Chain A
């Protein structure tokens, strides 16, 4: 049986805003098609994982306090992570983790918290602590030359700069910065984004893009995923796109 292995980073610390739901949606859509899924969890004090052993690496957003603790831990795996990305392991990084994989994060007091420096972007917190990009967001993304809209919820103070290739163009909401036209960072096997919601819950096309990518890579074929009953997802998308875009 075909199998997808997911590494879930810091589930006990990066667990705000329902980001765990992304793992549940992946599991649901993988298992509904008769494939199997293995979810390994890694957190501080656990044995070091080899990122190359996985098909998907997932990390979510967390409280500010906890994020700085795990930044120190994650940096130990910098070379292994870079290697895994180069080898094509899929990385799905939400909010705090998105920031963490960049060059640095500059906090309100001007302190620089070094990131993993895997990607060239960097994040600076908004000088006004109380002012954050909060709200529903819709972006347009292109996956395998196919354009689709992605619906989510953003809640971030950090403003991210120097994005070489965004995940999507903003149709509604803020994006990487206040009133930005671009959201997130994207390469074939990396989606780094501010979108909670959870991201994959209302975007089955995106979820299936990730699943297909992993199966194709692992089993070296061009797989056609079996259609699932997406009635609720489609109704939800129709309702929300009507509400936000009209």
Chain B
């Protein structure tokens, strides 16, 4: 009975929030959770639950899966706004359930914060779990990557649902052995792309075999520690691949799987990984290739994830980067583009960003391709300026501004193409101000 009233109260609150045009984020979930920490158990559904987790790429992959399933005519409930902690998921369920906690949908699709997988799915039956990658991320808040992986591994020991894993990230692929009795493990992989390297170019994690501690051997690295690896001692990494992306052509924004060409919006290698995961999930649920193709060719997030804008006629590409790998892949996109360009890097150190900004020293700023000027901003504008200067970029071409408005004005003094990298709390203010500057938003 208590749960009935919690849901009723939250539904009323949701209506009030709607009247005031507020989304509420994970507020409903927070209140409900405080009322009853076991509220998750109360929700009932008969449909498959799909979850996506990773350090980077959760929102994009999750939303693209939801989008594709919707395009197939299914009713999908998903936390597309990115509220991915326990309370965020409860919020999404509260908004979509009956007063008795029943959720009528064909699919529930959730992006879940890495550390919340064991918590959320302790009480909530999971049909498919997708894991994309693990990178170092806000060490002062999250702790070391290894302890996080061990917690997920523990959860997976008793999990028998579909498990879709990136075979090119050793820290993800290892999870396929957590439960040897689970026959529903599927690995995906992406073939070598044009800018793959023989040696690791950016900070990475998977150096030693998690099973026998031997140094892993890499045929090539795509980015960070993601690439074709193998353990020379115990053969870890040599898995049968369920979906393999081939003929990666980022210039023309397409790749192939099983001789079918998929066109995508965006030109980064990590997108190919995200979309290969999407295709793996959708294939398991027998979504037609044609619908998947159409969905991928029209899908984009437009919320600062590789968002492309025209600001007073100047091409501007904005990308979120909240950890070294996110920044490094953004710089990869910049370096793979031969046009002259200017970079704006916005770095904040608010609670949600992590107070520790030392991760910027794991970003590879060496040999930037045709970058004529760099503007820095955010509460740590000077830290990032020092970092870039130390990498060898001419300090006369670096302009730090603590004030974001000044930074954006300085950025658009020229009409050279712009790349914008912003970390977590700086992303939305930066987008908003750039759009405002360009007259795209009031």
By a beta-carbon cutoff of 8 Å, the part of chain A in contact with chain B is 12, 15-21, 24-25, 28, 63-65, 134-136, 153, 155, 196-198, 201-202, 229, 231-233, 235-236, 239
Contacts and interface: CB of A to CB of B under 8 A. Distances in A.
A197 B386 contact: no
A63 B171 CA distance: 15
Interface string B328-369: 000000000000000000000000000111111110000000
Given A21-B387, A24-B361, A236-B386, A63 B144 contact: yes
A135 B355 contact: yes
B235 interface: no
A208 B355 CA distance: 27
B201 to A, nearest CB: 14
B395 interface: yes
A197 to B, nearest CB: 6
A17 B356 contact: yes
B386 A232 contact: yes
Given A201-B361, A232-B400, A236-B382, 12 more contacts: A16-B144, A18-B358, A18-B362, A21-B361, A21-B390, A63-B146, A196-B356, A196-B358, A229-B395, A235-B400, A236-B385, A239-B382
A153 B358 contact: yes
6 contacts: A20-B361, A20-B362, A28-B389, A28-B392, A134-B140, A155-B139
Interface of B is mostly: helix
B288 interface: no
Given A155-B139, A232-B398, A15 B361 contact: no
A21 B355 contact: no
B389 A18 contact: no
B390 A25 contact: yes
Interface in B170-195: none
Interface in B387-439: 387, 389-392, 395, 398, 400, 402
A136 B136 CA distance: 19
Interface of B: 136, 139-140, 144-146, 203, 207, 355-362, 382-383, 385-387, 389-392, 395, 398, 400, 402
B337 to A, nearest CB: 26
B386 A201 contact: yes
Contacts of A63: 144-146
B203 to A, nearest CB: 7
B372 to A, nearest CB: 19
Contact of A232 (B359, B389, B402): B389
Contacts of A202: 383, 386
A60 to B, nearest CB: 11
A233 B140 contact: no
Contacts of A21: 358, 361, 387, 390
Contacts of B146: 63, 65
Contacts of A28: 389-390, 392
Contact of B383 (A12, A15, A134, A201): A201
B144 A12 contact: no
Top 4 nearest A-B pairs (CB, nearest first) are: A18-B361, A21-B361, A236-B382, A18-B358
Contacts of A20: 361-362
A231 B356 CA distance: 22
A136 B222 CA distance: 34
B383 A155 contact: no
B355 A136 contact: yes
A231 B385 CA distance: 10
A186 to B, nearest CB: 22
B254 to A, nearest CB: 36
A24 B358 contact: no
B139 A17 contact: yes
Contact of A64 (B144, B356, B386, B391): B144
B390 A153 contact: no
A196 B203 CA distance: 17
Nearest to B386: A232
A200 B355 CA distance: 18
A64 B145 CA distance: 11
A232 B385 contact: yes
Contacts of B359: 17-18
A239 B378 CA distance: 12
A17 B358 contact: yes
A233 B386 contact: yes
A20 B359 CA distance: 10
Contacts of A235: 382, 400
B25 to A, nearest CB: 26
Point out which of B361, B398, B402 has the most chain A C-beta atoms below 10 A from its C-beta.
B361
Nearest to B203: A15
B36 to A, nearest CB: 25
B382 A197 contact: no
B140 A197 contact: no
A232 B382 contact: yes
Given A18-B358, A21-B361, A197-B358, A155 B386 contact: no
Given A229-B395, A232-B382, A232-B395, A16 B355 contact: no
Contacts of A25: 390
Contacts of B392: 28
Contacts of A201: 361, 383, 386-387, 390
Given A24-B391, A134-B140, A201-B383, A239 B358 contact: no
